[in-house]
Amino acid sequence: MSSPATPPILQNPDPGATYQAAYDALGRAYWEASDIASKDLIHGAQEAIGEIITAIDEQGLAKNTQLFIAFKPKIDAVNKALQTIKDEINQITKNIATAATVVSAISKVLTLWPA
């Protein structure tokens, strides 16, 4: 009898890198967005993600419980905006590659700290 296969070691994603990937993907989508409302939505999400990236890099958000608790409302607001962008990506850009990149990056962010 063989022993069961050892499950792969699960690695927590790097929150800073995950948010940076979403920030970069949104930057590409911004330039392809077809209307000002979409551009505003993307730009607002990018600004909020930038603040979270700064908190992760400079203040250790991922390792500091009190800081995380303080930032949780911003994280929830960003997640809501990102979900909206993800749901409306087909109206925001017609570039399939950009849309796929944005959806993938947003999906990864949404799994970091779900609501």
Greatest extent of the chain over all pairs of C-alpha atoms, in Å: 63
The pLDDT value given to residue 6: 41
**Between these two residues, 71 and 2, which has the higher pLDDT value?**
71
3 pLDDT higher than 70: no
- Distance CA(103)–CA(115), nearest Å, equals 18
Taking each helix axis from N to C end, the angle separating 36-59 and 15-32, rounded to the nearest 10 degrees, works out to 160
Residue 59 clears pLDDT 90, i.e. is over it: no
Which range (8-12, 69-73, 108-112) has the least confidence?
A: 8-12
Task: Determine the 3-state secondary structure of 8 from DSSP.
Answer: coil
Percentage of the chain with pLDDT > 70? 86
pTM of the model: 0.80
Q: Which residues contact 110 (CB under 8 A, 6 or more apart)?
A: 79, 82, 83, 86
87 CB burial (10 A radius; 0-12, 13-18, 19+): exposed
The better pLDDT of the pair 7, 36 is held by 36
CB atoms near residue 17 (< 10 Å)? 12
More confident residue, 93 or 3: 93
